[in-house]
Amino acid sequence: MSDPTLTVSEAIAELMRTAGSPAQRRDLRAALSHVDAGLGTMPMGSLSNRHVAALLDDLREAGLSPRRETAILHAVRSLSEFAADLPAASPQPATTPTPTLAMLALGTRVAAWTAWTIAIVFAVLLVVLVLELS
């Protein structure tokens, strides 16, 4: 990074300026709004997996859906890769993809698929019950 005092908010703003299509910018902005609100004043060099995990825990307690959590994880990964590619960037071990982030992403996918499966099974059972009772 050219500026070691670059904050998470500034990195997000820079990413928004350089992101591809308007749809990609909109998706990134939506996912990173939580990160910006919770960790925006933190320097990018200080951002760690612990901070992201704590933010996700707080958001989960507030009712964050698994799909939204997955989107946030992907957006944080994009942000960390973008920040690492900035000129004169030093390695950012705290924000590069790690096994911990990979496991968090896998856990959110498993939770989402489990929720969908339960919903589908419930719907099928409801249809069978209605047919049996009629």
Question: pLDDT 10s digit of each residue in the chain, 134 long?
Answer: 445 677 888 888 888 888 778 888 888 888 888 888 888 888 887 788 888 888 888 888 888 888 888 888 888 888 887 777 776 544 454 556 678 878 888 899 999 999 999 999 999 999 999 999 98
Per-residue pLDDT, 6:
76
Per-residue pLDDT, 95:
55
Per-residue pLDDT, 117:
96
Structural domain boundaries of the chain? 8-133
Residue 121: what residue type?
A: V
| Whole-angstrom distance, CA of residue 30 vs CA of residue 3 | 26
Architecture of domain 8-133: Orthogonal Bundle (1.10)
Per-residue pLDDT, 91:
47
Measured CA to CA in angstroms, residue 42 lies from 6, 22, 53, 67, 114 at distances of 9, 27, 15, 26, 35
pTM of the model: 0.56
Per-residue pLDDT, 87:
65
